[in-house]
Amino acid sequence: MHARNKELILKELQSIVGEKNATAAKHICYAYSYDLSFVKPKLPDFVVMASKVEQIQEILRFANKERIPVVPYTAGTNIGGLTIPERGGIILDLKRMNKIIEIDPEALVAVIEPGVSHAQLAAALAPYNLRFGWPVGPPSASVASCAISHGIGGMNARYGLQSQEITSMEVVIPTGEVIRAGSCAINPEAWHSVLPMPQLDGLFKGWLGTTGIVTKLGINVHHSPPLLKIFTVCCDTVEDMYSYMLNLSNYEICDDLTGVSWWLAQVPIPYPYKPKPDKDPEWFSYATTYSFTQKEREAKEEIWNLVLNQEKNKGTSIKETHYPEEALKARTQLPSQIVGSTKNYCKQGGAGISWPGTFTPAKKWAPVYRKWKEILISHNLSPSVRMSMYRGVHYGMLRAMIPFNKQSEKETENARQAIVECLRVDLDMGGMPYKPPVDFAMEINKRAHPGYLMLLKKIKQLLDPNDIMNPGKLGI
Ligand SMILES: Cc1cc2nc3c(=O)[nH]c(=O)nc-3n(C[C@H](O)[C@H](O)[C@H](O)COP(=O)(O)OP(=O)(O)OC[C@H]3O[C@@H](n4cnc5c(N)ncnc54)[C@H](O)[C@@H]3O)c2cc1C
């Protein structure tokens, strides 16, 4: 960008948000140019921190007129390069918009601004004995960003994805107009449901910040029953773990039903690859259950015992095991010593971490894992894999958390190649990547139905005629 031009643009941005809240300073732009992932850093030209909807409108109108890219940003922890500005321009950091507008403990709805973090919401819900599904990501990350990106948390076996908890939203579209989707579109006080109207919220969920900026979000929150019991098992093969998880999920008693490979159970995840000791099981699982009464809890325990015995009688290697207390706590509570701390994931690796994160039919978990294990070990990386059931149905998350040495270009490229190879295997078996970096988006689009791509392009063109919103991320 021409220096004179840059100065004028900065002045205009400062006139909108105040001098202190818009900058082109190199060291600040540098801090927004990279994330933990294998995606190559790219510098923005400006970093702007808005605090009001009207400011976002003004910024987008101006950016549209001048054809300047705008990348919405909250904490940059998505580990897919999703806030790395492909074409420079403005990083619009929304952290200052961090008001919890309302918590309605009767309607079980909270209305939040995009900068509200998981830690902040957890603290605000606690006095009402309410909860949301906390992800195992950093507690400083935004609840809204996670929800609109189809993120997952600790209640996904019961309530599904964070995006399925969305009840209403307010958005500034790239041309600067404010729109609303869900009940708040009809009555500004009503934030309880996106149904039964056309689901316009879908235009902003899973789009990676390429169609608009969410400025208010309604989400369902849930009671926190007093009796928590987490059932833990281990076994020797992925097939045995799949069989147990499938069986248990049929009874729909779990808020979270997750299996993790030996490598993911280590703190930190081994980097480079380290063989598992022969005597250790290869898979561990936790099944989180909540009950309101002792009798309800006993009934759940009875079901779990039934499943455990059925699996043993089938001749699988499933057996009960014990997790450390802190690890159990980490599955349901914030803060935690174990999860959310990126150093626990990648301190050995030199600060890099990426994932092939997918929604995959459960019956494909075992064959995909076996292939992933081969690929990852051949790249000297740990097969640190997680499988989680979604909404009591037989599909769910299959992902590998891959630490690597980000200080080394060669090791970063090695991780990228391994992860993209893993992703191809999963796509070929019917899986779908979530929060996809551009490399993944290209792989998805190669396989996409032409009608899907055509509609995607038409919608993008309609909402963002000058392609200013996080351009390049959809790989189209
Ligand atoms: C160790 C580790 C573990 C993790 N575990 C999980 C996990 O269990 N579950 C999970 O879901 N995620 C997990 N993550 C990923 C990450 O924490 C989540 O994706 C997080 O929700 C992203 O929030 P953020 O505030 O960092 O968003 P950012 O990275 O800042 O943004 C994410 C995307 O949303 C867009 N965006 C941001 N704000 C807006 C807005 N207001 N309007 C429109 N678009 C917007 C951005 O442009 C970008 O495309 C993990 C990450 C790490 C490092």
Does residue 349 surpass a pLDDT of 70?
no
- Examine the domain organization and report whether 357 and 418 are in the same domain: yes
**Pocket probe mutation, ligand 1, options 33, 51, 77, 172, max atoms within 8 Å of Cβ:** 77
What CATH number is attached to the domain comprising 200?
3.30.465.10
Domain annotation covers residue 454 = no
Nearest 5°: the CA angle 195, 158, 121 is 75
Which atom in ligand 1 lies closest to the alpha carbon of residue 341?
A: 1
Domain annotation covers residue 471 = no
Q: Pick from 73, 93, 113: which residue ends a domain?
A: 93
Residue with the smallest CA separation from ligand 1 atom 51 is 137
Domain annotation covers residue 312 = yes
Which atom in ligand 1 lies closest to the alpha carbon of residue 135?
A: 8
- Examine the domain organization and report whether 161 and 199 are in the same domain: yes
**Pocket probe mutation, ligand 1, options 51, 73, 173, max atoms within 8 Å of Cβ:** 73
- Examine the domain organization and report whether 72 and 122 are in the same domain: no
Are the C-beta atoms of 114 and 94 separated by less than 8 Å? yes
The verdict on the CB of residue 137 being under 6 Å from ligand 1 is yes
- Examine the domain organization and report whether 68 and 208 are in the same domain: no
Question: What pLDDT is stored for residue 398 in this prediction?
Answer: 96
Residue with the smallest CA separation from ligand 1 atom 14 is 137
Determine how β-strand 100-104 pairs with β-strand 130-131: unpaired
pLDDT digits (tens, 9 = 90+) for 227-256: 999 999 999 999 999 999 999 999 999 999
- Examine the domain organization and report whether 147 and 83 are in the same domain: no
pLDDT digits (tens, 9 = 90+) for 295-314: 999 999 999 999 999 999 99
Q: Pick from 223, 240, 259: which residue ends a domain?
A: 223
State the average pLDDT for the chain: 95
Domain hosting 308: range is 227-436
Q: Pick from 436, 455, 470: which residue ends a domain?
A: 436
Average pLDDT for 89-102: 98
* DSSP-assigned letters across all residues of 401-416: -EEEETT-HHHHHHHH
- Examine the domain organization and report whether 89 and 125 are in the same domain: no
Does residue 136 surpass a pLDDT of 90?
no
What CATH number is attached to the domain comprising 42?
3.30.43.10
Are the C-beta atoms of 133 and 418 separated by less than 8 Å? no
Domain annotation covers residue 453 = no
- Examine the domain organization and report whether 309 and 375 are in the same domain: yes
Question: What pLDDT is stored for residue 393 in this prediction?
Answer: 87
- Examine the domain organization and report whether 113 and 172 are in the same domain: yes
Between 143-147, 323-327, 405-409, the lowest mean confidence (pLDDT) is in: 323-327
Which atom in ligand 1 lies closest to the alpha carbon of residue 82?
A: 49
CA distances from 435 to 78, 114, 141 (A): 7, 17, 14
- Examine the domain organization and report whether 298 and 374 are in the same domain: yes
* Reported confidence tier of residue 327, pLDDT bands at 50, 70, 90: confident
Are the C-beta atoms of 387 and 397 separated by less than 8 Å? yes
- Examine the domain organization and report whether 202 and 247 are in the same domain: no
The verdict on the CB of residue 74 being under 6 Å from ligand 1 is yes
What's the total number of domains in the chain? 3
- Examine the domain organization and report whether 349 and 332 are in the same domain: yes
- Examine the domain organization and report whether 178 and 149 are in the same domain: yes
Question: What pLDDT is stored for residue 387 in this prediction?
Answer: 97
